[in-house]
Structure 1
């Protein structure tokens, strides 16, 4: 079957060029070489990391690193109660995506009460803490400054108490570098929690809460010259169209719905709670039988997986394709 592949570059919504492909040849191993020299490497299949979206009680644990390089860190966190300290980043803006449960973000720029599906960005240098109720969320540490691309749904605000039952007490503040990775604290010290939160009255800035437009195929929410972060909506219908990004790894987090990811590094069924990394230069598409969406992070620099692999993609077989519904992206 003939398909179209869009050749993309980071930061552009339009293809650099579009190429007609034979889908079977695109996904199959290359023809054997006609010379007795090994001309290309063999690459492993895509790997999937999974964390359940349904909350499971456990003692407090630091966020789990999923992908990391020397400028970006992607984490998964669940929380039921307070964190052990307020936190201030030296080098990055901290973006969160709310997966499920309830979470109150308390900061020097005000308080946000999150609903599932919402994003926010904590600017570099702003102290903050979280209070979760069977909460799970993603964290993206990205070199500052990060630009917001979508209008705010609402903003943080002064709120006292920040949540019912809150009482000011002994609190610590941790200053961190290296994307807040464990063990990269610079200094930790005691703070007056009420004084810290009352700083909101001295600030002109507020934090914006963003949400993807469900009516768009893709909503880009945040950007730098080397990173793009947004949400992709998938619906059944249309012809398969492939995408190859020449200058960026893509991290995908399946938020809602089930999806089959077809790539030159294998085919894998994704469910809510799955992460997958598509290396730069790899052609891929998705097929779905139900509406869904996923978070997409494009990184100009390679973004290796640091979490344990849950499962791997299967090798392509043409027999599987006739039973798949299709979608545009």
Structure 2
């Protein structure tokens, strides 16, 4: 009999957690027959994969992965060009994680260069544009206001020119509502970009860059709003005998580096860099890790459906098969 433990927590980090013993074969097992409520088929766990390495291509809009009325998660890649307009959000803070390459972020609160591992947050109403090289980044649109939970490692400043070869132009400025989603622009008008960038002289606040320390076995929370928390999780090794269940939150994860086996009550997935996955509220999960692994963790107090096409689907593994994976490392 394989005993494991299930940690039951809530979205509120201050809420006490419960730790209960479970038999793993029952925790992951099929329900028993019941005349009162016949078992139904549950949708297996799913993942969406995009290359974690840079693939040269022309401009394309960000690709939506998960979307609801209170959170959007996108992936974008850019190379040697700017997005075609400045952008201002009416209702959300726009956060990003730099996966690969470098990207120059230009805003009314200053400009800065982002490298792999950098988190940044553009507060609501702050106009911004990007110029990127061999870039992959993840975007999070979260209703304002979002709190930064760690001290910044550096911050934006007024830089003219913001990147080599820049010449000031009159460019469009697009204003959006509804989490900055497609077809939710409310107005687009020309703007003098030199004047826009020089606004940093009048703004006391700056765009901060946050980075995770990479402490083993922990989720380091970097941002928090009323309904969303965003963090970075590092695992050196794990036998996956401690499960976690969020009683009131979806858990969205993006695999940054390393490989791990995600074990859930809805199936098992082997995750690699570039994989997105969502563990729904109330579903117990754990990770078997035999090499250093890092992933983004996004907790959402409200459901966030997947809108991208599924790439792979979880399979059912028994405890002997899981134990074989544990012993393989």
Tell me the CA shift for residue 237 of structure 1.
4.5
Q: Is the 8 A contact 2:100 2:136 kept in 1?
A: yes
Identify the residue that residue 58 of structure 2 maps to in structure 1. Answer: 59
1:15 shift after superposition: 4.8
Aligned equivalents of 2:39 and 2:149: distance in 1? 40
The 5-angstrom pairing of residues 73-222 of structure 1 reads 73-80=72-79, 81-216=81-216, 217-222=218-223
In the other structure, the counterpart of 2:272 is: 271
- Structure 1 residue 47 and structure 2 residue 42: aligned? no
Q: Does 1:24 align with 2:25?
A: yes
Question: Is the aligned partner of 1:258 residue 2:255?
Answer: no
Cα distance in 1 for residues equivalent to 2:227 and 2:249: 8
d(CA) in 2 for partners of 1:15, 1:229: 20
Q: Is the 8 A contact 2:47 2:313 kept in 1?
A: yes
| Range that drifts further, 116-125 or 38-47 | 38-47
Deviation at 1:39, TM superposition (A): 4.0
Distance 1:293 1:15, change over 3 A: farther
Can you list the C-alpha shifts for 1:122-169, whole angstroms capped at 9, x where unaligned? 000000000010100000000000011111111111111101111112
Quote the Cα distance in structure 1 between the aligned partners of 2:284 and 2:20: 11
SS in 2 for 1:324: helix
Distance in 2, Cα, partners of 1:194 & 1:202: 14
Structure 1 alignment gaps of length 5 or more: none
Q: How many residues align?
A: 324
Are the counterparts in 1 of residues 238 and 287 from structure 2 also a CA contact under 8 Å? Answer: no
The answer (yes or no) to whether the contact 2:219–2:297 under 8 Å persists in 1 is no
Aligned-partner Cα distance in 2 for 1:77–1:15? 37
Indicate conservation of the 8 Å contact 2:9/2:245, yes or no. yes
* Structure 1 residue 180 displacement after superposition: 1.0
Contact 1:236/1:325, CA 8 A, preserved across alignment? no
Rounded Cα–Cα distance in structure 1 between residues aligned with 2:17 and 2:290: 29
Q: Which runs of 5+ in 2 are unaligned?
A: none
- Partners of 2:263 and 2:16 lie apart in 1 by 19
Deviation at 1:42, TM superposition (A): 1.9
C-alpha separation between the residues in 2 aligned to 1:295 and 1:126?
25
- CA drift of 1:316 comes to 2.5
CA shift, 1:11, in A, is 2.2
Instruction: Look up the SS of the partner of 2:326 in the other structure.
Output: coil
**Alpha-carbon distance in 2 for matches of 1:12, 1:172:** 42
Give the Å deviation of 1:214. Answer: 0.9
RMSD (Å) for aligned C-alpha atoms: 1.3
Q: What secondary structure sits across from 1:320 in the alignment?
A: helix
8 Å Cα contact 2:240-2:289 kept in structure 1? no
Residue 278 of structure 1: how far off its partner (Å): 0.2
Greater shift after overlay, 274-283 or 233-242? Answer: 233-242
Q: TM-score, normalised by structure 2?
A: 0.96
